[in-house]
Amino acid sequence: MSAMLKITLPDGSVREVAPGTTPADIAAAIGPGLAKAAIAARVDGELRDIMRPLEGDTHLALVTAKDEADALELVRHDFAHVLAEAVQGLFPGTQITFGPSTDDGFYYDFAPAKVDGRDRPFTEEDLPAIEEAMRNIIARDEPLIREVWSRADLIARWQREGETFKAEWAAELPEGEELTVYRAGKGEDAWLDMCRGPHLASTGKLDPQAFKLTRVSGAYWRGDQNNAMLSRIYGTGWLNRKQLDQHLMRLEEAAKRDHRKLGQEMDLFHLQAEAHGSVFWHPKGYIIWRVLEAYMRRRLDAAGYQEVKTPQIMDARQWEQSGHWGKYRENMFVIPDEVPNTEDEGPVVSNEAQWMALKPMNCPAHVLIFRQGIKSYRDLPLRLAEMGCCHRNEPHGALHGLMRVRQFTQDDAHIFCREDQIVDEVSRFCDLLDTVYKDLGFPDYAIKLALRPDKRFGSDEMWDWSEQSMRDAVAVTGRNTPEWGWEELPGEGAFYAPKLEFHLTDAIGRTWQVGTIQTDTVLPERLDASYVAEDGERHRPIMLHRAILGSYERFIGILIEHHAGRFPLWLAPVQAVVATIVSDADGYAEEVAAALAAAGIRVETDLRNEKINYKVREHSLAKVPYLLVLGKREADERTVAVRPLGSDARQEVIGLDALIERLKAEALAPDLR
Ligand SMILES: [Zn+2]
Ligand SMILES: [Zn+2]
C-alpha cells in the first residue's frame, strides 16, 4: 500500500488521503454544498480539473463560480470545445485546429470540408443550427476526461481521422511536455481534442442559456498569411444567462454610443480614405475641441505651466540623437528635404535630399528649448506645455475612428526638475489630473505603475530609482490604494522610463487609459541638457513627460461615448435652438437668438415651416441640450417655452431675461464657476 498524501487546504488544515483521490473527492468529504459548487481546483497554484487525481503532497484550493476569473476562463474554454464538437457533428469532414477563450467568450478555427470541390467557409446563417447542436451536447452532460497520450499514438490518431492540422501541431509540441487530450463522452465514439486543459467535469456544468455565437471571420492557420485560410466562429460565453444578457446589453449600449455614429448624426467630424487616420473636424466638432483646449489652457496657466510651440518637422540627425531613429523609426513618417530644381526641363526636385521626419512626439523639441541659455537650479521646476500635433505611422488595420489615429494633438508637457523635486511635481500632477477628470465628468479612474520593459535605455540603478520615486509620489497623494485601482504592471513601461497610467471608467463601465506621467533621465543625457546647481557644477535635470487627456482626438471620442453625445452645456457644440411654431413668432425668435448670442450662448434658429414635433425629433437626434419653443403667445408675452433634451413633452415657460441668466450660469466651464 502506497503512502498517504498530505493535502493542505487554504485554512491551513491538512487532510491525509489515498493516492488517486481527486479534488472532487475532497470537496465531497468536506460537504455536499462544496461538492456541488466546486468546478475546478488550484493545486499548488495551478488551475486543474476537479477530476484529476492528486499525485503528491500539495496545497489545494477548490475553485467555485465565486472565483469569477477562473470560472469564466474554464467555461469559455469548455464552450469552445462544445462548439468544435457541434460543428464536426453537423459538418462531417470539417477539421479542427485551435479554440481559445477570449476576453468575453471564445472562438474556434476550423478548416471546413470542401463542398463540390469548393471551400465552404461558415456563414452567420449556420450559427443558429450550431447553437442548437451545442445545447444538445450540454444537455447530454458528456464527461470531459483528461488522458495523457504518447506522441506517436496522438499523431497516428489525427492522421487516421484526416486531422492534418492537429497532426502537424502534435508533431511540433515541445519534447518533454505531457501530451494530453480531452475526451467528451465515453466509449469509442467519444469526441476528442488535443488540449492542455483544464476543463469542467462535464458539458452539463455549462449553462445552455449563457452563450451566444456572434460572428464568423477568416483566420490564417497559426496566424501566418502564407498558410491555409481557416474559418473562425466567435462566441460570447458566461456563467449564467443573466451575465450574458448584461453583456449583450452593454454591447448594444456601446453601439448606440459609438462616436463614429454620433459624430455623423451630430455633424462633428468625418474620416476618409484620402487621409487615413487624420480627422476632418467639422465646425460643430471643432467647437468641442476649442472649448476643451481653452479650459485646459486655463488649468495649465494656473498650475504654473508655460506654453510653447515647436516645429512639426525635424532633421533625421536630431531624431538619431534623441534615440527615436533607433527605437521608434517604424512608427515615424520620414520625408525627404527636397531641393526644388530651377531648370525648366529637369525633374521637379533634385535627387539629393536629407531625411527629415514628422515629429512622433514633442519631447526632443522641448529639450532644445530648455537648452537655450544657461539654466540655474532656481529656474527649476520648468514646466513647458504644448498642444503638440504629432504623427505616428499606425497600420491602416489598427485605425479606429477618433480612438486610434495617425495625426493627433497631445495635451503634452515636460517638467524639467531636480531629483529632490520629483515627488512634489508628480503628486502635484496627480492633483491637477484629478481636478480635470472630475470637471470633465470622470470621477472614477484607476492609477497603475508600468515598470521597466525588456527593450530599454538606461542602467538598472536608474530604473530602480525612478520606479521608486513614482511609488513615493503616489503615496504622498494617498492614492496608492486598492480603491484607486493602484497596481504595478511589470514590463509595460516606456523604453526610457517607468510610467504612471491613469485609466478612466466611462458611463457604461469601460476603461480607457488616458493620462500618463513618466520620469526620464535618458533624454536629458542624450540631448545634453544641464543646469547649474547650488554647488556651481552642471547637473542633469530630470524630465517628466506628462499628459492628462492623452490626445484631443481620442479624448473627444471618449467624451462623446461617455456622454452618449449629450454633453454638459459648457461642452455642447450647439447649446440651444430657438424653434418657432408659427411664422408670426419669427421676428421675436431672431431677437431671442441675438440676445442669447450676445450673452455668449451658442444658439441657432429653426424658423422652417415644419411641424414642431418634426423639429423636436431632429434637434434631439443632434443632442441639442435646450430647445426654445416660441409661438404667438410667447412672442406677445416676451417669454420662452424651454424644453430640455430628453424631457419628452415637459416644458417650462419663463421670461427671456431669466432664461439668459440661467443658461449663462449653466454654460460656464467648471473652472469659471
Ligand atoms: Zn481544451
Ligand atoms: Zn515627452
Q: With cut-offs at 50, 70 and 90, classify the pLDDT of residue 114.
A: confident
CA atoms of 90 and 94, how far apart (whole Å)? 9
How confident is the model over 625-646, as a mean pLDDT? 94
186 catalytic? Reply is no
CA–centroid distance, residue 449 to ligand 2 (Å): 17
pLDDT score, position 509: 86
Whether 596 shows a pLDDT value over 60: the answer reads yes
Residue 179 alpha carbon to ligand 1 centre in Å? 12
> What band does 187 get if pLDDT is binned at 50, 70 and 90?
confident
- For 560, phi and psi rounded to 5 degrees? -60, -45
From the CA of 237, how far away is ligand 1's center (Å)? 15
Q: What contacts 658, CB < 8 A, 6 or more positions away?
A: none
Rounded alpha-carbon distances, angstroms, from residue 485 to 446, 507, 508: 4, 17, 18
Q: Which residue has the cell 492628462?
A: 548
- Cα angle 38, 42, 45; round to 5: 160
Assign residue 305 a region: left if phi > 0, alpha if psi is -120 to 50, beta otherwise?
A: beta
pLDDT digits (tens, 9 = 90+) for 284-342: 999 999 999 999 999 999 999 999 999 999 998 889 998 888 888 899 999 988 877 77
Cell 441640450 belongs to residue: 625
B/e letters for 580-617, b = 16+ CB within 10 Å, e = fewer, are bbeeebeebbebbbeebeeeebbbbbbbeeeebeebbe
CA distances from 309 to 280, 288, 387, 389, 523 (A): 22, 21, 8, 10, 19
Nearest to 408 by CA among 393, 427, 397, 428: 393
CA angle 148, 152, 154 (to 5 degrees): 50
Q: Where are the alpha helices (DSSP H) in 542-611?
A: 552-563, 586-598
Residue 182: beta bridge partners? 146, 193
480 CA to middle of ligand 2, Å? Answer: 24
Instruction: Give me the pLDDT at residue 223, please.
Output: 87
Torsion sign, CA atoms 146, 152, 157, 158: positive
Could you give the percent of the chain with pLDDT greater than 90?
Answer: 83
Active site residue 510: no
- Joined together, the cell numbers standing for residue 527 give 540631448
pLDDT for residue 347 is more than 80: no
Is there a contact between 620 and 647 (Cβ–Cβ < 8 Å)?
no
Closest listed residue to residue 269, CA positions, set 286, 255, 257: 286
CA-nearest of 623, 521, 506, 606 to 558 is: 506
User: 460 an active-site residue?
Assistant: no
Cβ(106)–Cβ(82) under 8 Å? Answer: no
Q: Which residue has the higher pLDDT, 20 or 649?
A: 20
pLDDT bin (cut points 50, 70, 90) of residue 351 is low
Q: Which of 414, 428, 448, 546 is catalytic?
A: 414
Write down the catalytic residue from 195, 363, 389, 390: 363
Q: How far is the CA of 80 from the centre of ligand 1 (A)?
A: 8
pLDDT at 2: 64
* The predicted structure's pLDDT at residue 174: 87
Ligand 2 centre to CA of 473 (Å) is: 19
Average pLDDT over every residue of 442-458: 91
Question: Considering every ligand atom, which ligand is closest to the CA of 191?
Answer: 1
pTM of the predicted protein model: 0.81
Of the candidates 408, 389, 410, 386, which has an alpha carbon nearest to the alpha carbon of residue 399? 408
Q: Active-site residue 526, yes or no?
A: no
As a whole number of angstroms, the distance between CA 161 and CA 83 comes to: 18
Task: Find the catalytic residue in 499, 554, 563, 619.
Answer: 499
